[in-house]
Amino acid sequence: MRDGMAIAEQSGVGGGSRAVLLLTCVLVVFLLAMTITIANVSLPQIQGSLSATRDQVAWVVTSYLVANAVGLPATGWLTDRFGSRALLVWGTIGFSVTTLLCAVAPNLGLLVFWRAVQGLFGAPLTPLCMALVLSAFPRHRHGIVTALFGIGVTIGPIIAPWLGGILTEDYGWRSVFYFCLPFAVMACLAVLAVIPHDRPQGQRRLDVRGLVFLSIAIACFQLMVDRGERNDWFESAETYLECLAGLACLYLFVVHSLTWRQPYIDLRILVNRDLAVGLVLVAVFGMLSYTPTVLLPNMLQDLRGYPVELIGVLLAIRGSGMLLGFIILIWGSRLDPRLWLFLGFGLQVISGWAMAEFDINVTNFQLAWTGFISGLGIGFLWVPLTVITLGRLPPAQLPVASSIFHLLRLFGSSTHISLSVALALRTAKMSFAEIVERLQPGRPALPGFDTAVPSVHEALPMVREIGRQAEMIGYLNAYLFFGLTALAAMPLILAVRSAKP
């Protein structure tokens, strides 16, 4: 993608149009954020309506993230080939049309397919909007403009789950996609009216081999972690094939990228230590971003029978924590970014540990405060991660570094969601088998229980409750995995050099 200076030279955005341009770009990215988060609260209804399992319905989220990650690095070539205005216009229109197609999808396969296409159309929109905003405003205003841009974007994850819960409860899961359509139409009209014209460069060639190698590698690894539990992992030949194909394509992608003159992603910039360490932390940040929003709705509805509206409110509380964290960073960005990294990842550790201590009678207050501090930690992490990863790079390297930044963030999200769902399913089965084994005449049903099971007939009514408890254990292990993931990232912060924002 061309840097902000190149876009500014062609945009011709005057001072009176800057605020309108900012509002337009915020509207586009708000639409993206809302469409992702509003569907999460509807996952239990989608699962029941389309007769899907928990690992299958998770693809409604992961298919979007994987497609978005694959399409993101092509933003540079697409911008050079078609121009930033054309790419924004057609990307927004395509995203809007696929939102409608998601709403009318008759089965899970088509819903996942259209979500993936939606992710491809949405891939270039966020980096292009950010580049246009920064190029339109003078450098001394970038801080406040970035803050306003970020606050506008975080409103989506706050209101979308709440509204999605209400709509799903009253009108079904399809209504959440229909609800996004008016915003999609407004975004299309605003982009057509406001985004300035520019001239395509048409100088770069698309590295097709690099694109194919990367796409196959990501798809194979995602299929492996998504289908691993169902296939009993490496007891299945499919898992071996997906793993070997993914590793082979990843190897070919790395070798090709390091030797080709104009690769799809230029990996040679990773010799920069700050960038390399920052990107590892970005991948962990991506792992922590969406996992709770996928696990909680299924847990609360399946095991506690929570109404969807209440689940939406609880997810919105997490979004409000993100908003508060971002507002605090408007002032706090002048401090050492390592401080905010420790606070951000530390809050994820606390949240994960607290959620791993839930029981089947978890209270709304427990759900609310753990979600809030998790969101607050995410809000603390975004700005310092951007500073340490991209802050010291020359302008010429920013486009490719930004592509890798978002690629790892999105792939980390989709992979961690799949692994968490697989962990919850596997440990729930193991716990169920262990508890049922104790349901024998004359033996205590559970450790610590004095009452023995007198007969198999009397034990049968207990099976459903044992199933609920076993599923809860699976979710608790997934939350512990969430906290341990954040804890594992904290030693890497020591490798980050001090940097001024």
pLDDT tens, the chain, 501 aa long: 444 444 444 444 455 577 888 888 888 888 888 887 777 777 777 877 787 776 677 778 778 877 887 787 777 778 778 888 888 899 999 999 999 998 888 888 888 899 989 988 988 888 788 777 767 777 666 556 766 776 666 676 667 767 777 777 777 888 888 888 888 999 899 988 888 877 776 666 778 888 888 888 888 887 787 777 777 777 788 888 989 998 999 999 999 888 888 787 778 888 888 888 888 998 999 888 878 877 888 888 878 888 877 887 888 888 888 888 878 887 777 778 888 899 999 999 999 999 999 888 888 899 999 999 998 998 888 878 877 877 677 766 666 777 778 778 878 887 888 888 888 888 988 888 887 776 655 555 555 444 455 555 555 567 777 888 888 999 999 999 999 999 999 998 888 876 554
The two three-digit tokens of residue 252, written as one number = 């070919």
CB atoms under 10 Å from CB of 324, counted, come to 16
Which residues are registered as beta bridge partners of 453?
A: 441
The pLDDT value given to residue 206: 75
Q: Could you report how far apart the first and last alpha carbons of the chain are, in Å? A: 23
The pLDDT value given to residue 5: 42
**What CA–CA distance (Å, rounded) separates 379 from 318?**
10
**What CA–CA distance (Å, rounded) separates 403 from 7?**
17
Segment (H or E) for 217: helix 208-227
The pLDDT value given to residue 232: 76
Whether residue 65 contacts residue 119, with contact meaning beta carbons closer than 8 Å, is answered with: yes
Tell me the backbone φ, ψ of residue 395, rounded to 5 degrees.
Answer: -55, -35
Nearest 10 degrees: Cα torsion 81, 85, 88, 94: -80
The pLDDT value given to residue 344: 92
| Alpha helix stretches (DSSP H) within 266-397 | 273-304, 308-332, 337-355, 364-390
**What DSSP line would sit under 308-325, residue for residue?**
HHHHHHHHHHHHHHHHHH
**What CA–CA distance (Å, rounded) separates 399 from 384?**
18
Distances in Å between the alpha carbon of 368 and those of 246, 280, 400? 39, 29, 38
The two three-digit tokens of residue 405, written as one number = 């930044």
Which residues are registered as beta bridge partners of 441?
A: 453
Max CA separation in the chain (angstroms): 83
**What CA–CA distance (Å, rounded) separates 324 from 330?**
10
Tell me the backbone φ, ψ of residue 444, rounded to 5 degrees.
Answer: -60, 140
Whether residue 125 contacts residue 92, with contact meaning beta carbons closer than 8 Å, is answered with: yes
- Torsion sign across C-alpha atoms 247, 248, 251, 256: negative
| Domains observed in the chain | 1-204 (1.20.1250.20), 289-501 (1.20.1250.20)
Q: Hunting for tokens 């796409």 — which residue is that?
A: 215
For residue 268, the SS3 value is helix
The pLDDT value given to residue 442: 53
**What CA–CA distance (Å, rounded) separates 239 from 358?**
33
The pLDDT value given to residue 485: 93
Residue 12's Cβ-count burial label (10 Å; 0-12, 13-18, 19+) is exposed
